Structure 1
Amino acid sequence: MTAKSLFDAVGIPHSTYHYQPDAMNGPDRHAWLLPLVEEAFGNGEKRYGCKRVHLELKGMGMTVSAKRVMRLMAKHGMVPLRKSAKRYGSCKGGPAKAPADLVNRDFHAERPNMPWVTDLTEFSIPAGKAYLPPIIDCHDGLPVAWTIGTSPNAALANGMLSDACSTLGEDEKPVIHSDRGCHYRRAE
């Protein structure tokens, strides 16, 4: 088998094959950028990640790809000293074992109050973050109850559940389906 037949089988031009070794062994066309990236990284006391270094370069009037900055930093071992803070995650360990999925992904109901679905939604607003856990009736898709607060705590979920349960008759016992996150698995 010849090299030409391989190029034809793979579908690449013969010139591309010969270009790659020359390009890899040739001078780095982004060598001018490395001192600027190192300077921006050093200005941040080695705490800036690639996004912040890219913003620093942009502030200097440099037009360069964020991915190029990320590759240069990774190639030359420029790693921030401290990792950034973790974002909020609703499941940080399970307070209780997750219950079985009784709804089995069938979210249609023949009558009201059977079943209900819920989840905790996070919104970014100018004042910070707001959390909204509504209960939706699968019969008509309308909210049964909801609460809103600035902290995704048990009181928020429990208040919504109490409000929803207060709308029920004595013989109504709906199944409540959630993502089985820790807010809905507390003993309360």
Structure 2
Amino acid sequence: MDTFATYKARYGAPRIAQELNALGVDCSVNYVAHILKHNGIRARNGKAFKYSPNTEAMTGVADNLLKRRFNADGPNQKWTTDITYIWVRDRWLYLATVMDLYSRSIVGWALDTHMTEQLNTDALQMAFKRRAIENDLIIHSDRGVQYRSNRYQALIERHGCKLSMSRKGNCQIN
């Protein structure tokens, strides 16, 4: 009981048994656990860990404007964008694409050895150059850090488009 008190009731049977054995008192974990239980003593283990999402992971997240409506009545109304990995010889390459949901054609793309916001902005800039866009074009992506970057979102805003992102945990729908 002295060892239990010495460690401010934080040590349970395994640690108490270890301390007692180090002091030369032969005992097993089960024996110490039995004594603690018999006397109604339990270790205080502090507060349980509570997960809360990192605030940085929620920065720059846009509403889901697309809401799984993946068809469009005409061109340049809804675009989706995503990144895929391609193994080439001895390394990964990253391909960012922008697809028009009306024609299902790729209207912009970029390929690089690094997955950065530059990769996404290059693909989007190609799409803007190749297409005459109208206001209210929805550009939909997952919540990846590249899509939440200020530079990427500013590019979309400068062109009068609306940013849309999948809801949490639904990155596969892009």
The normalised TM-score by structure 2 is 0.51
2:72 alignment partner, SS class: coil
The 8 Å contact of residues 83 and 97 in structure 2, kept in 1 or not, is answered as: yes
Q: Which residue of 2 aligns with 1:6?
A: none
* Structure 1 residue 127 corresponds to structure 2 residue 90: yes
Give 1:94 shift.
2.9
Q: Which residue of 1 aligns with 2:129?
A: 166
> Aligned partners of 2:83, 2:133: CA distance in 1, in Å?
27
> Aligned partners of 1:105, 1:170: CA distance in 2, in Å?
22
Give 1:112 shift.
0.2
Aligned-pair identity in percent equals: 28
1:159 alignment partner, SS class: helix
If asked which structure has higher relative contact order (CA below 8 Å, sep 6+), I would say 2
The 8 Å contact of residues 76 and 134 in structure 2, kept in 1 or not, is answered as: no
The 8 Å contact of residues 113 and 172 in structure 1, kept in 2 or not, is answered as: no
Report how many aligned residue pairs link the two structures. Answer: 96
The 8 Å contact of residues 95 and 186 in structure 1, kept in 2 or not, is answered as: no
Deviating beyond 3 angstroms after TM superposition, the runs of 4 or more aligned structure 1 residues are 170-173
* Structure 1 residue 148 corresponds to structure 2 residue 111: yes
> Aligned partners of 1:135, 1:170: CA distance in 2, in Å?
13
Could you tell me which amino acid in structure 2 is paired with residue 141 of structure 1?
R
Q: Which residue of 1 aligns with 2:70?
A: 107
2:143 alignment partner, SS class: coil
1:94 alignment partner, SS class: helix
The 8 Å contact of residues 79 and 99 in structure 2, kept in 1 or not, is answered as: yes
Q: Which residue of 2 aligns with 1:178?
A: 141
Could you tell me which amino acid in structure 1 is paired with residue 83 of structure 2?
L
2:149 alignment partner, SS class: coil
Pairwise mapping of residues 62-77 of structure 1 onto structure 2 (< 5 A)?
A: none
The 8 Å contact of residues 114 and 174 in structure 1, kept in 2 or not, is answered as: yes
> Aligned partners of 2:120, 2:82: CA distance in 1, in Å?
9
Unaligned runs of 5+ in 2: 1-55, 152-174
Give 1:122 shift.
0.9
Give 1:161 shift.
1.2
Give 1:95 shift.
7.5
Root-mean-square deviation (CA, aligned residues, Å) is 1.7
Give 1:170 shift.
5.8
Q: Please identify which structure carries the higher strand content.
A: 2
Unaligned runs of 5+ in 1: 1-92
Give 1:97 shift.
2.9
Give 1:162 shift.
1.1
1:142–1:170 CA distance, 2 compared to 1 (3 A): closer
> Aligned partners of 1:102, 1:125: CA distance in 2, in Å?
35
